[in-house]
Amino acid sequence: MYLKLIKYLLFIFLIFISLSTYSITTCNSIVNIQQIKSEKDLLIKSLLALSLSKTAPEMCISESSYKMSISRQQLQVENDQLDVLWTSADLKDSLSPIRIPIFKGFLGYRLLVIRQGGQVVFNRINSLTDLKDFTAGLGRYWGDTLILFQAGIPMITTQAGDRLWEMLANKRFDYFPLAIHEPWEELNARSKLNLTTEKNILLSYPSGLYFHVNKSNVKLFNLISSGMKLAVKDGSYNKLIQQSTMIKNTVKFANIAQRKLIKLDNKALIENTPKENLKYWLTHKELISFIEQAKSYH
């Protein structure tokens, strides 16, 4: 009995050594990223891992153990303490942005959160001119605030974006825009405020969330960029997004195909995007097809 136990423990030890050796030999380098704080971050990490698997399967991703502001993340990438960060802010002066939108640009398609009972007045909106009769609420430092401002949309801003929900309920403004995957769980968590999504309008403007790396890390820049392109080409990139729980409520509730599209410009983003990368942005027609395909997973 004792001899059998020894043999069993030796067998387990050899398996452990084998797995450890395999882990070491298949993970030749580490890519350090920011802490994962949300389901969106988790999907972004998965998309990064997928992209690197196409060009550098020996690379492993290591997540930071503490939270950092975007400015702190930027400093850490500049100092080679982090390798990659993702943000919609344009950090081109200090880091190299990989100008392929992580979510294929669907973050720039927006639904409006309004007060319950307010749909009747929004029914008359058919154009940007009509929309300008209403006041938007936005976070002061949101990436899309400048886009709406330049479009001439009246707005009220607040430094604390979480306050927008109560401000809307208290009639400080008429609506605020959220990306097509965002409103549902937020509204469920604030059911007492009697807010809802507007039923007919789809606001659209180019808005990109990008991976950024240190300017000197040309190798990692090329590995991520090439890997993203390969994953998009073979369909695995789309499939990973479409299968995600983050997009589940969009598939169920957003009703994209039946909404009236109101387009805004974002000239700075388009001017900074390499022409060959423009094909990675979902057009309105492609977005509808993208969401329809995602229905098969949910």
- pLDDT of amino acid 250: 93
Answer yes or no: is pLDDT of 13 > 50. Answer: no
Q: For residue 291, give the amino acid letter.
A: I
pLDDT digits (tens, 9 = 90+) for 72-114: 999 999 999 999 999 987 776 789 999 999 999 999 999 999 9
The contacts of residue 274 (CB under 8 Å, 6+ apart) are 99
pLDDT digits (tens, 9 = 90+) for 46-81: 999 999 999 999 999 999 998 898 889 999 999 999
- pLDDT of amino acid 6: 52
Instruction: Note whether 175 and 114 are within 8 A (CB).
Output: yes
270 — pLDDT class (breaks 50, 70, 90):
confident
- pLDDT of amino acid 23: 42
Between the CA of residue 286 and those of 105, 129, 283, what are the distances in Å?
11, 26, 5
pLDDT digits (tens, 9 = 90+) for 17-52: 434 443 444 788 999 999 999 999 999 999 999 999
pLDDT digits (tens, 9 = 90+) for 116-167: 999 999 999 999 999 999 999 999 888 788 899 999 999 999 988 889 999 9
267 — pLDDT class (breaks 50, 70, 90):
confident
Determine the average pLDDT of the residues in 271-287.
Answer: 91
- pLDDT of amino acid 100: 96
Taking the model in full, what pTM does it have?
0.85
Answer yes or no: is pLDDT of 194 > 90. Answer: yes
278 secondary structure, DSSP code: G
- pLDDT of amino acid 131: 97
233 — pLDDT class (breaks 50, 70, 90):
very high
Token representation of residue 255: 């009703």
Pairing of the two strands 210-214 and 195-197: unpaired
Distance of CA 103 to the CA centre of its chain: 6
Largest CA distance in the chain: 85
